[in-house]
Amino acid sequence: MKVIETEIPAVKIVLMEKHGDHRGFFSETYRRDALAEAGIAADFVQDNHSFSAAVGTIRGLHYQLPPRAQGKLVRVTRGAVLDVAVDIRRGSPTFGRHVAVVVSAAQWNQLWVPPGFAHGFCTLEPDTELLYKVTDTYAPAQERALRWDDPALGIAWPVEAGRAQLSARDAKNPLLADQPDLFELGGTE
């Protein structure tokens, strides 16, 4: 397992090894001690599985507030996504900036999205399946979201606005400037 920092160091790419032969492959997709050595010391409490049939499906940008903030370790087992993490920690030198990484079954990579970041993705292939571990369980009272196409975020989504497949709820998310519920840098995440 190899962990690589992104342009926002708190967000990390995790590369997993695959050992294959004529029968198929074997891979360690999660190993607590190796991740902790690389700076991802997270206690995961829930696994989530997302399936999206259509290319251009966007889910996000979601997050949960403290004390139920979630870190996410995201991987794709079939297909590919453009995975996005937006820094929403007020006082951070990278506040409002984002990291966008292609996470795919072919690349066999993962993305660590720590608490304090809004998370979303857009499917790049049909029938994409995404699995992710989270550091806290779903808490509807603490759930918040940002508008996926907020111009202030400058995310280059691989789909035109009129062609994006969105939930009714995600289509109504507020802009970053209109979202009062964010994180404070150094606060309880």
15 has which bridge partners?
A: 2, 109
The CA-atom distances, in angstroms, between 118 and each of 33, 152, 153 are: 26, 14, 11
Based on DSSP, count helices (H) and strands (E) in the chain, helices before strands: 1, 15
Q: Which of 22, 30, 62, 98 is catalytic?
A: 62
Q: HSE, CB side, 13 Å, CA atoms: give it for residue 81.
A: 31
**Does 132 participate in catalysis according to the annotation?**
yes
d(CA 13, CA 62): 19
Token pair recorded at residue 6 = 């992104």
| 62 catalytic residue (yes or no) | yes
Options 63, 98, 119, 132, the catalytic residue: 132
Which residue numbers are catalytic? 62, 132
